[in-house]
Chains A and B, each alone.
Chain A
Amino acid sequence: GAGVSQSPRYKVAKRGQDVALRCDPISGHVSLFWYQQALGQGPEFLTYFQNEAQLDKSGLPSDRFFAERPEGSVSTLKIQRTQQEDSAVYLCASSLVNELYNEQFFGPGTRLTVL
């Protein structure tokens, strides 16, 4: 079956622009995570959904970041008024459920460059 997909794969934005990043999780996966990965660093947690409910958004760096998953499948991460420090790879991961031993399956990521 299909894995996690993300679009666009690459996004170049001018400072101050708004961007929207899309994640299509594996069908049937209840849990969905967004991470930010800066160059040379590990993924940093941003937010977590269980179905359509956003259960944890403690990792969102500012109120410019907003995520939604309205129907419990596709998710969108929106960044308003982008800044240069937002440049990173944004990874989406899904898992069947969110339990201690469940594997997370990662999408290919969206590389965001803010000029």
Chain B
Amino acid sequence: QKEVEQNSGPLSVPEGAIASLNCTYSDRGSQSFFWYRQYSGKSPELIMFIYSNGDKEDGRFTAQLNKASQYVSLLIRDSQPSDSATYLCAVRGGSYIPTFGRGTSLIVHP
């Protein structure tokens, strides 16, 4: 069974700090990796996706992928209170059906 593991948290960081969110996956055939943000009571919204080893940057967000270690992470620079949410990692492989982790709760305190 394909598994996607995330620490449920909460991860608490001060405003302005870097938040680091991590995700590991079991299926070596996985090819694309997504980070979603989900505010309490709301639906997930896509932040970034990555499919090549290395880093991908978009504004304050950087996704990092290491396929050999089966590890993907999301860095949020200059964290803001509005970044407080649950961050879901999703992984897609040959079946194209995404598998989601349980999410990591992030709290950014002023």
Contacts and interface: CB of A to CB of B under 8 A. Distances in A.
Contact of B44 (A40, A45, A56, A106): A106
Q: Is the interface of B mostly helix, strand, loop or mixed?
A: loop
Contacts, number: 47
Interface of B: 4, 6, 8, 31-32, 42-46, 49, 51, 88, 90, 92, 95-103
A45 B98 CA distance: 8
B98 A107 contact: no
Contacts of A103: 46, 49
Given A42-B101, A43-B88, A98 B96 contact: yes
A48 B42 CA distance: 22
Contacts of A25: none
Query: What bracket does the count of chain A residues touching chain B fall in?
Result: 20 to 34
Nearest to A97: B96
A56 B43 contact: no
A44 B101 CA distance: 9
A100 B100 contact: no
A88 B6 CA distance: 20
B97 A48 contact: yes
A90 to B, nearest CB: 11
B103 to A, nearest CB: 5
Given A48-B97, A99-B96, A43 B44 contact: yes
